[in-house]
Structures are given as C-alpha cells and as structure tokens.
Amino acid sequence: MPKIINHEEKKKQIIQYAFSSIVENGAKGSTVRQIAKLAHMTPGQIRYYFPNHSELLKAVMFSVELKIRGRIEAIFTSKNLDAIDKAKESLLTVLPLDQERLADMEVWMAFRYDIHEYGQSTLDDGLNQLCTSVLTLLKNNHLLKDNLNIHLNSMKLHALIDGLALHKLLNPIQTSNEDIQSIVDEEIARLTQ
C-alpha cells in the first residue's frame, strides 16, 4: 500500500529545516542541497515543493512574518497594557532580544539581502507599517504630541528600530537589552505629551 503524504505538513517541515539552516549558515550557505541533507530528503524532493532557492526563502520569510505579526497583534489587542506599553512592547518584539527573535532577525536579514541582490526594494518590510501603527495608536489615545508629523516620525522610528536591530545583531555584547529598552522608552517619551 502506498504511503500517504501530507503535502502541507511536508512543506512546513521543509520550511522549518530551511529556517534552521539559514540561522546556522546564512542565506547563501543554505543551499537546497544543504537543506535536503538536514531534512533527510533529496534536492529533487525539496524542489518538488519549492522550485528554486528564492521560492523557499520567500516561504521561510512568510512564516517568520506571520509569527511576528501574531506577536504584535497579541500586544495591540491586550487588555492588560495601556497605549504607551503597547507602543513600547510592539517595537521591542521585533528586536533580537532573545534567541527566538535573534533567529527571526537573522532570517529577516538574509531575506532582505537576497531581495536587495535582485534589485528589489527592501524598505517595505512591515516595520514601517508597525511604526505608523504605533504613532496612530498614540494619536488615537491623545498621547502623541500636538502637530507631530506622523510620516516623518514614522520614518525616524523605523530608522531607530532598524539601527538598534543591526547593532544588537552585530554587537550583541556591547548592545545590552537594557540599553535598547531604555532607548525605546526615551523615544516613546519624546513622542508623547
């Protein structure tokens, strides 16, 4: 009797192996052959589900984005946090302050580098939307300073979070979680009344 394969489950497994490989070896070191070896599959079996490396990388990034969006949504819908805490926590949740978020950031960076090499824009990464949502949340709760330009301050906040993420990724010892939290606290204090 032929073995019944759950194709959706198999795709999820391949994505998880690819995620692990990217964290370990970077996007360039995570070849289909390397991922197939980890998954105890052949490269042909991987290509059955993902025709090329870019498609596999997109699937991995999509799974990371879903996970991060879930974290942010949980913060924004929390009944236990006020608007200021929601703003701070949602920004901190995208920063590599623990092993899970560090792995997510490594995959995010690998994906951004990959699409940059193909000449695509890397600015529309969801972080700009988060920064705008944070400022809108503060404005809707009458906490944002009067006459603050949301567009410009969203760009500034985006640059700050990008910079903090990069510093933490490249200099984890010199960039403590406490310092990052203090910088985010100060930025939210600057934006609010």
- List the one residue out of 136, 120, 133 whose CA is nearest residue 90: 133
| Assigned architecture for domain 7-191 | Orthogonal Bundle (1.10)
16 with 38: CB under 8 angstroms? no
Give per-residue pLDDT as tens, 85-123.
Answer: 999 999 999 999 999 998 888 888 777 776 656 555 544
Tell me which amino acid residue 143 is: L
CA distance readout (Å), 163 to 127, 134, 175, 184: 12, 18, 11, 12
Indicate the domain borders of the chain: 7-191
Give per-residue pLDDT as tens, 131-188.
Answer: 999 999 999 999 999 999 999 999 999 999 999 999 998 898 999 999 999 999 999 9
